[in-house]
């Protein structure tokens, strides 16, 4: 009979240890869940369509041929079978951490001649590239000029005088180098 109270004691110790382990696991799980929320997976940039810049739109003039419009804007993304006198240029970009962008330009033809065009206001190429750059900027541009005193530190004539060594005292280069492979 003395074994039964000892067995109960071991069961009690095992139950307490098991509950402590489960409690620790839940706090570890909660911490790891919080850590996973801090890490975001990489999302691929999705770019679809033709980017049309403000400069390209400014080149469009009524009376241009379809070929001239294609040379300025490129091939349209959408050619509607039912509306052969209309070309749609659609551009979308989705990037991680940046609001999605969508722009549309529709070009209307009368036969083979450009009649009119309408669409969203387009950014210039410079504005578009600046919008793509999401790096943080400090706002402070470093000075790219050196003072006369700073330039004197790198004066090659001063270095030669200080060392007492000139280019003439260096050993001459060999007239040719030995072949890489032995001749047979």
Q: Which alpha helices (DSSP H) does 54-117 contain, by range?
A: 54-59, 66-73
Domain count, the chain: 2
The answer to whether position 179 is within a domain reads: no
Residues 115/62, Cβ–Cβ less than 8 Å: yes
Shared-domain flag, residues 93 and 114: yes
Structure confidence by residue, pLDDT tens digits, 8-26 = 888 888 878 777 666 666 5
Residues 67 and 114 in one domain: yes
Beta carbons of 152 and 158 less than 8 angstroms apart = yes
Residue 52 lies in a domain: yes
For the record, the structure tokens of 134 come out as 């999401």
The answer on pLDDT for 33 being more than 60 is yes
Note the pLDDT tens digit of each residue in 149-159. 888 887 766 55
Going by C-beta distance under 8 Å and a sequence separation of 6 or more, which residues neighbour residue 48? 77, 90, 91, 92, 93
Q: Containing domain of residue 52, as a range?
A: 46-132
pTM of the model: 0.51
CATH of the domain at 122: 3.30.1450
């Amino acid at each position: 009979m003395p074994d039964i109270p000892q067995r109960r004691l071991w069961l009690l110790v095992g139950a307490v240890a098991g509950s402590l382990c489960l409690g620790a696991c839940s706090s570890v799980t909660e911490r790891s869940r919080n850590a996973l929320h801090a890490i975001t997976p990489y999302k691929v940039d999705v770019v679809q369509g033709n980017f049309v810049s403000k400069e390209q739109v400014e080149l469009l003039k009524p009376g241009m041929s379809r070929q001239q419009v294609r040379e300025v804007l490129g091939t349209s993304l959408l050619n509607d079978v039912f509306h052969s006198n209309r070309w749609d240029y659609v551009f979308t970009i989705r990037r991680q951490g940046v609001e999605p962008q969508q722009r549309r330009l529709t070009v209307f033809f009368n036969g083979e001649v450009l009649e009119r065009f309408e669409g969203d206001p387009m950014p210039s190429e410079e504005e578009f590239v600046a919008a793509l750059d999401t790096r943080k900027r400090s706002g402070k541009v470093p000075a790219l000029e050196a003072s006369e005193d700073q330039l004197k530190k790198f004066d090659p004539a001063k270095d030669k005088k200080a060392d007492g060594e000139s280019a003439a005292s260096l050993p001459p280069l060999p007239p040719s180098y030995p072949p890489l492979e032995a001749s047979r």
